[in-house]
Structure 1
Amino acid sequence: MRLGLIGSTGHWQSYAPALDRVPGLVLVAVAPAGPEESTGAFDHAPGLTIQTRRYEDARRLLDAEHLDVVQICGRSDRIPVWIRLCLERGLPVMAEKPLAIDLETLEILFKLAQNTGASLVPMHTMRGVAELAAVRRVVRAGAIGDPLLSFSQKSYKWGRSRPDSWRSRDTFPGIAPWAGIHAFDWLHWILGDEFTSICGHEGITAHPDFPACASQAAFVLTMRNGGLASVTLDYLRPESAPTHGDERVRIAGTLGVVDLVLADRKLSMTTAQEPPRTLSPDPQIDLFTRFAHSLRGEEPPPLTLHEACRITEIALKAQLAAETHQTLPLTDSPYCSR
């Protein structure tokens, strides 16, 4: 299986575990996703050999190489451009999230992937987190009854600096499609496609010189069963904190509650029949390995095209809801599984 890399931004080394898990997977070519990157970033890329070819222009890579799969990890506004060029060539793609920074482009990519039959999977890498998989297992098994209320948190350190591209909505999608999409993804993965509307609010109080990325935001999704799912996002985590991120999930149902504090690896469940008990994590295979196996027909894709676009749609509408101060519907979606 011949792999080409476009871009060295974000989670671009996500393919690395698959090199040992997918027989015959070879990194044959690399290229930057835009002028803000360079081929030098690939100097220590996992799987790089003297046979790996480097291109200054990713279009030349796509035209010259015979590839089986492409991974795209560039600046947010560049991702849909490279996805389109790959899909037009019938090339399967795993791309950094979000797949698009506006709803119109997302629909174009969805239809293109449908028409070409080429696989398109976003890097929703938190599906590989064993503790989240355990939350999904107990919720889907009915252990807490009908889920009616959930809280999801993603809190991150801001760090010393952020790219200038984060200052403009032309080059940055907003905090919801950027950081929040992981939370929207795990809610969809755990609870199913149960969401009917979304509203939200955000502010740039802590980092006003980066107006495209809120420093704090909160969203509420309504569910078909009358339940509510809240999501908070922030770049307010103190630099002295032991981990870069602080992700938390609490899901309350008619029969019990499950709680996860990921930074501390604390996962517990409480029901009417038993006091709080620690749950064992469910080890997962990394996303790229599962994607590669699906391309060989060995298992289903880690996300279907409809799932990938539905979750992206929810994240984009969350951002739009916060910016317009409106409650937006999530029903009648072209990507909805119902």
Structure 2
Amino acid sequence: MRLGLIGSTGHWQTYAPALQLVPGLKLVAVAAAGPEETTGAFDHAPGQTVDTNRYDDARKMLDVERLDVVQVCGRCDRIPVWIKLCLERGLPVMAEKPLAMDLPTLKQLYQAARKSSTALVPMHTMRGVSELATVRQAVRDGEIGNPVMSFSQKTYKWGKARPDFYRSRETFPGLAPWVGIHAFDWLYWILGDQFTEVIGREGTTVRPDFPACGSQAAFVMTMRNGGVASLTLDYLRPTAAPSHADERLRIAGTHGVIETALIERKVILTTADSPPRPLDLSPQTDIFTQFARSLRGEAPPPLTLPEACRITEIAIKAQEAVDTGRTISLGDSPYHTA
């Protein structure tokens, strides 16, 4: 299986574990996703050899190389461009999130993938997290009854600097599709497509010089069963904190509560019949390995195309709720799968 990389922005080394887990997977070519990148970023790319070809122009790579799969990890506004070019060539794509920065572009990608019958999977890497998989299994097994309330938290360190593309909505989609999409994804994955509307608020209080990227945001989604899902997102994690991120999830149902803090590497279940107890964690395979195996017919894809587009749609609409100050409907989706 011949792999080509487009871009060295974001989680571009996501493919690395698959090199050891998918027999025959080889990195044969790499290319910059835009002029803001250089091929020098690939100097220490996992799997690179003297036979790995480098291209300043990714179009040339797509035209010249005989590829079986492509990973796209460029600046947010460049991602859909490269996805579309890959789909037009019948090349399966795993792409950094979000797949698109607006709904019309998302619809175009959905139609292109369907027309070409080509696999398109977003880089929702948290589906490979054992704690979240354990929560999902417990909820799906009915351990907490009917889920009616959840709280999700994603807080990150800002770091010493961020690229300039975070400053403008021309190049950055907003906090919800960038950071929040992981939480929207895990809620969808665990609870199903249960969301009917979303409201949100956001501020750039800490970094007003980055007006496109909120330093803090909060969202509330209503559920079909009358439940509520709330999320908080921020770039406020202190520099001295022990980890880059602190991600948490709590789901309350009619029979119990399940919760996890990923930095603690445990899941706690409390029910009407039993006191708090830790659950054994469910082993998970990383998303690129799942994707590669699905292309060989050895496993289902980590996300179907409608699922991928639906989660992206929810994230884009959540950002719209922030930007407009309105409640945005999540119904009548062309990607709705429930």
TM-score (norm 2): 0.99
Give, in whole Å, the separation in 1 of the partners of 2:262 and 2:208: 29
Deviations 1:152-171 (CA, angstroms, capped at 9, x unpaired): 00000111111100000000
Q: Is the 8 A contact 2:106 2:309 kept in 1?
A: yes
SS of 2:320's equivalent in the other structure is helix
SS of 1:37's equivalent in the other structure is coil
Give, in whole Å, the separation in 2 of the partners of 1:323 and 1:178: 15
User: What residue is the counterpart of 2:165 in the other structure?
Assistant: 165
Q: Is residue 259 from structure 1 mapped to residue 231 from structure 2 by the alignment?
A: no
C-alpha displacement of 1:279: 1.2
AA matched with 1:265? R
C-alpha displacement of 1:295: 0.4
Give, in whole Å, the separation in 2 of the partners of 1:190 and 1:266: 17
User: What residue is the counterpart of 2:37 in the other structure?
Assistant: 37
User: What residue is the counterpart of 2:69 in the other structure?
Assistant: 69
AA matched with 2:142? G
Give, in whole Å, the separation in 1 of the partners of 2:299 and 2:167: 41
**Percentage of matched positions with identical amino acids:** 70
Q: Is the 8 A contact 1:121 1:303 kept in 2?
A: yes
Give, in whole Å, the separation in 2 of the partners of 1:305 and 1:85: 17
Give, in whole Å, the separation in 2 of the partners of 1:223 and 1:271: 22
User: What residue is the counterpart of 2:22 in the other structure?
Assistant: 22
SS of 1:182's equivalent in the other structure is helix
Q: Is the 8 A contact 2:6 2:30 kept in 1?
A: yes
Query: Root-mean-square deviation (CA), in Å?
Result: 0.5
Q: Is the 8 A contact 1:131 1:280 kept in 2?
A: no
Aligned counterparts, 1:23-172, within 5 A:
23-172=23-172
AA matched with 1:202? E
Aligned counterparts, 1:317-336, within 5 A:
317-336=317-336
SS of 1:319's equivalent in the other structure is helix
SS of 2:309's equivalent in the other structure is helix
Contiguous gaps of at least 5 residues in structure 1: none
C-alpha displacement of 1:263: 1.2
C-alpha displacement of 1:275: 0.3
Contiguous gaps of at least 5 residues in structure 2: none
Aligned counterparts, 1:132-281, within 5 A:
132-281=132-281
Number of aligned pairs? Answer: 338
Deviations 1:32-63 (CA, angstroms, capped at 9, x unpaired): 10111100000110110011000110000000
Q: Is the 8 A contact 1:13 1:46 kept in 2?
A: yes
AA matched with 1:269? L
Give, in whole Å, the separation in 1 of the partners of 2:37 and 2:226: 47
SS of 1:220's equivalent in the other structure is strand
C-alpha displacement of 1:266: 3.2
Give, in whole Å, the separation in 2 of the partners of 1:263 and 1:22: 29
Q: Is the 8 A contact 1:256 1:270 kept in 2?
A: yes
SS of 1:24's equivalent in the other structure is coil
Deviations 1:219-257 (CA, angstroms, capped at 9, x unpaired): 001100000000000000100000000000000000000
SS of 2:11's equivalent in the other structure is coil
AA matched with 1:203? G
